[in-house]
Amino acid sequence: MGFSTDYRKWRGGVCKINLTGPGWDPAWVPSARSAMKMWNAATAKFKFMEDASSAANIHLAAYKFRSQGWIGFTQLRPSKPGSYLTGRDVLINLWYEFNPPHSTETAGDTAGPYQLETILAHEFGHLLHLNEDLSGSATMMRPVIKPGQSRKLHNDDIAGIKTLYP
């Protein structure tokens, strides 16, 4: 088993995401929708939904940090194991280059573009409250990725979501 979780989950099996946050490029919306659909196809008991209102659980944002580090970062609340999640943010670090490219920001990293859909699908796995997969398998939740690399959901990823939303 490559997935791990502390069993926090979304009440009613729904997480609403606002795709218009600070620094978020409108050209990135199709990648976000595609990453949402990837997880939605894994089970009928959970759905990511788009919500343009300020009442959305999660807000996508992109900021240019002055150094390397994480490519994407997911913040969730509350932090009590076994509780229902209520929201927070998914942040993308514009220090890195992405495919598709950001329309107004120039990346500081020159290693090549990261596949935004894959980065977002990984971060959305964290929204589901799946932890990093350190088993070495090729799951979506593996914490290391190279520029240009794409991933699809692995059986362990699907087992994780079905454990939380049977």
| Cα separations in angstroms, 131 against 67, 104, 123, 148 | 24, 32, 10, 23
Residue type, 162: K
Whether 61 maps to a domain, the answer reads yes
Work out the pLDDT band at 2, boundaries 50, 70, 90. Answer: low
Whether 2 maps to a domain, the answer reads no
d(CA 134, CA 136): 6
| Cα separations in angstroms, 56 against 88, 100, 104 | 9, 25, 25
76-127 residue pLDDT tens: 888 788 889 998 899 999 999 999 999 999 998 889 999 999 999 999 999 9
Whether 101 maps to a domain, the answer reads yes
Give pLDDT, residue 74: 93
Asked if 126 and 73 touch (Cβ cutoff 8 Å), the reply is no
Q: Which domain holds residue 109?
A: 9-164
The count of C-alpha atoms lying within 13 angstroms of the C-alpha of 100, restricted to the half-sphere facing its C-beta, is 13
Whether 3 maps to a domain, the answer reads no
| Cα separations in angstroms, 70 against 66, 92, 93, 107 | 12, 8, 7, 14
Whether 37 maps to a domain, the answer reads yes
What's the CATH code of the domain at 54? Answer: 3.40.390.10
Q: Supply the pTM of this predicted model.
A: 0.94
Whether 111 maps to a domain, the answer reads yes
Give pLDDT, residue 19: 95
Domain total in the chain: 1
